[in-house]
Amino acid sequence: MNAAVVRSTYKQTDLDQVVNQYKEKVLPAIAAHQGGKSAIFLVDRQTGTAISIAMYEDAASAAAFAPKSQQLIDSFKQLRTSDEPKRELFEVAATTQQESRAIVERLFKAISDHDLEEAARLTAPDSVLTAPGGVTAKGPQAIKEFNKNWITAFPDAKIETQEIFAQGNKVAAKAQFVGTHNGTLKTPIGDVPATGKKVRGDFVQLFEIDRGLTKSAHLMFDQVQLMTQLGMAPAPPQAVKASR
């Protein structure tokens, strides 16, 4: 991750106009740029000082935005009281978002590697996991048993991550659980004996990270989809029709 920083000074009376122009011109330009991630605009209303921080996937995408950036800087010229600002490029060495995302990535890798000890080490002592069916697991040991149940039922279980979004210490992950049902799956409504069927199920999990550990994890997945793939529930009418 890389960042571009632009420092400027404006008349205090013009700051609202500057902010509106930033919203209308800079934010859409960053969003439309390949590799552009986000932008933040900081203002000091006592001095008129403003700092623009734009985030990019990598150094190449940050450098590629330079011509457009110069056009945007020029568009603020009539509002500035300082000399033309210089655009400075930095590597983002650490952020709360990066660290929070990294914890979830490590957790998913540990579960995919069936390393439940590592997964437990990433779990806070007072952590709570909730899952469909009214399941609540409190503490690393209970959460470890929850994960163990799935790995026992699906010995080749893997998590295929699709997207991870981090904001501060909150993380949302969209992924798929993939595995072959060769063991007994314990569920809130009873045990499901091995069926030998392969499953691929979508899930979303919301995390709260606290001091480098998962403090809460709210798991959401379609129970009917899972039972259907295991042959324990009838396929939806449209699926039956499509298979004919």
What pLDDT was estimated at residue 215?
Answer: 97
Query: What is the architecture of the domain spanning 2-91?
Result: 2-Layer Sandwich (3.30)
Spatial separation of the C-alpha atoms in residues 233 and 216, rounded to whole Å: 31
pLDDT score, position 168: 87
Secondary-structure class of domain 96-234 per CATH:
alpha beta
pLDDT in tens, 70-89: 999 999 999 999 888 999 99
Q: Is 2-91's fold the same as 96-234's?
A: no
Give the global pTM: 0.77
How large a percentage of the chain has pLDDT more than 70? 95
Domain boundaries, the chain: 2-91, 96-234
Q: What are the C-alpha distances in Å from 7 to residues 54, 64, 80, 125, 182?
A: 12, 20, 11, 43, 60
Q: How many residues does the chain have?
A: 244
SS3 35: coil
What tokens appear for 10 in the block? 């404006």
The pLDDT tens digits for 157-183 are 999 999 999 988 999 999 999 999 999
